[in-house]
């Protein structure tokens, strides 16, 4: 089947457009008067031929795409031009026509400048103390107190001035400082050369829903740029078409944080810990959480962990990481769970591939 026919056959199923300019419906087609639109992640975009939007074109060409990726394609549909389907493509994604065109590179996210660890992390059984410089993008988020900062959440450095964390770590809270390059915050003998940088501002995703815990992602902007060295490095964002379309179910991914050792435990390690967690399908995850609460397990989250290894209180906002060749990528943000390592209940993570356009537009 030719690519042109696949484009028309697939996107002709779409009946709803999220473009924000005025138009009118003809059958199941929405004719456009202008070409500005809103993407499914609520970013400003252009309504263009899908063959000029390389990331969505790559998704369409991937016959093994997930239901969530199919949904993204359908939601990106924004009309027709001379009977050719168009999609809402962010300005960062647009490219010239033809399959050989590539989206412009993110200057903060070159593969030789992000996600590089100087420590070879082998398979982790259970949780263990992390080695110095194993995860140089780890961030501690400090909150206002009468004496010293309270390190209540984690985050992930994505460029010199921005840290990605959970929205619930930001909303209605006073963030004061971010610490980078730390290993054990209760000692100066760990050989870590940490740096504390004041927070300039912090903001949650505009669609963050605290009651349903959807779109639980936010960005912290630092007052000054961090200097990269062996202790401080950014992680890669999952912006490639390969990662946007990757099915991670069943994979064993990495987490790290300074969270507690158990549910309602007062034991919070000052030492950074690391673990591996297995990704569960959203269908299994939704079935588990349906037993106890009205959780929303949809394509914007992923679930990982189990009865022996999980994130816990204090880990919120920290990363779920996937290694691709020599680079680690931020694939999830720790959001919530049922207790910690409770049998049958994985941790729930914000799926970063669903929000990477929003992140890139705000850093």
Phi/psi zone of residue 309: left (φ > 0), alpha (ψ -120 to 50 degrees), beta?
A: beta
Q: What is the CATH number of domain 128-361?
A: 2.40.10.10
What are the catalytic residues? 168, 216, 316
> What secondary structure letter does DSSP report for 206?
T
Token pair, residue 54, equals 């390389």
Highest mean pLDDT among 7-11, 75-79, 85-89, 174-178: 174-178
What is the predicted pLDDT for the residue at 145?
66
What separation in angstroms does the CA of 139 have from each of 182, 196, 271, 291, 337? 8, 10, 13, 34, 21
Task: Look up the pTM and report it.
Answer: 0.69
Quickly list H helices, 298-355: none
Which residues of the chain does CATH 2.40.10.10 include? Answer: 128-361
Look at 233 and 308; give whichever has higher pLDDT. Answer: 233
Closest listed residue to residue 308, CA positions, set 253, 345, 356, 266: 345
Residue 115: pLDDT band (50, 70, 90) is very high
Residue of 267 and 354 predicted with greater confidence: 354
Which of 30, 156, 145 minimizes the C-alpha distance to 81? Answer: 30
CA distances from 12 to 48, 312, 314 (A): 15, 44, 46
Average pLDDT over the chain reads 79
pLDDT bin (cut points 50, 70, 90) of residue 182 is very high
d(Cα 329, Cα 158) in Å, to the nearest integer? Answer: 10
Question: For position 237, what pLDDT does the model report?
Answer: 98
Query: What average pLDDT score do residues 309-338 get?
Result: 83
């Amino acid at each position: 089947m030719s690519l042109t026919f696949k484009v028309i056959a697939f996107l002709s199923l779409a009946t709803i457009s999220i473009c924000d300019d005025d138009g009118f419906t003809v059958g199941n087609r929405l004719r456009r008067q202008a070409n500005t639109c809103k993407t499914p992640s609520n970013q400003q975009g252009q309504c263009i031929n899908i063959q000029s939007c390389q990331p969505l074109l790559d998704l369409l060409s991937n016959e093994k795409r997930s239901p969530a990726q199919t949904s993204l394609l359908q939601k990106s549909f924004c009309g027709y031009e001379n009977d050719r389907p168009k999609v809402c493509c962010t300005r960062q994604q647009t490219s010239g026509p033809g399959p050989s065109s590539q989206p412009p590179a993110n200057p903060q996210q070159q593969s030789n400048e992000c996600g590089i660890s100087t420590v070879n992390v082998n398979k982790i059984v259970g949780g263990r103390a992390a080695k110095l410089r194993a995860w140089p993008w780890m961030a501690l988020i400090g909150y206002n107190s009468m004496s010293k900062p309270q390190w209540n959440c984690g985050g992930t450095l994505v460029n010199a001035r921005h840290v990605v964390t959970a929205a619930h770590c930001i909303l209605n809270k006073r963030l004061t400082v971010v610490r980078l390059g730390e290993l054990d915050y209760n000692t100066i003998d760990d050989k870590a050369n940490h740096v504390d940088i004041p927070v300039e501002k912090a903001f949650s995703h505009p669609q963050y829903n605290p009651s349903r815990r959807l779109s639980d992602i936010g960005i912290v902007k630092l007052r000054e740029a961090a200097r990269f060295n062996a202790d401080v490095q950014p992680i890669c964002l999952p912006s490639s078409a390969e990662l946007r379309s990757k099915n991670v179910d069943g994979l064993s991914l990495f987490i790290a944080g300074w969270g507690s050792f158990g549910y309602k435990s007062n034991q919070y390690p000052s030492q950074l810990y690391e673990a591996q967690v297995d990704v569960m399908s959203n269908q299994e995850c939704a079935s588990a959480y349906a037993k106890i609460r009205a959780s929303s397990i949809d394509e914007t989250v992923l679930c990982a962990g189990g009865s022996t290894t999980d994130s816990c209180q204090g880990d919120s906002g920290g990363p779920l990481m996937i290694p691709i060749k020599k680079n680690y990528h931020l694939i999830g943000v720790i959001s919530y769970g049922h207790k910690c390592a409770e049998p049958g209940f994985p941790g729930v993570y914000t799926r970063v591939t669903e929000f990477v356009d929003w992140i890139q537009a705000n850093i």
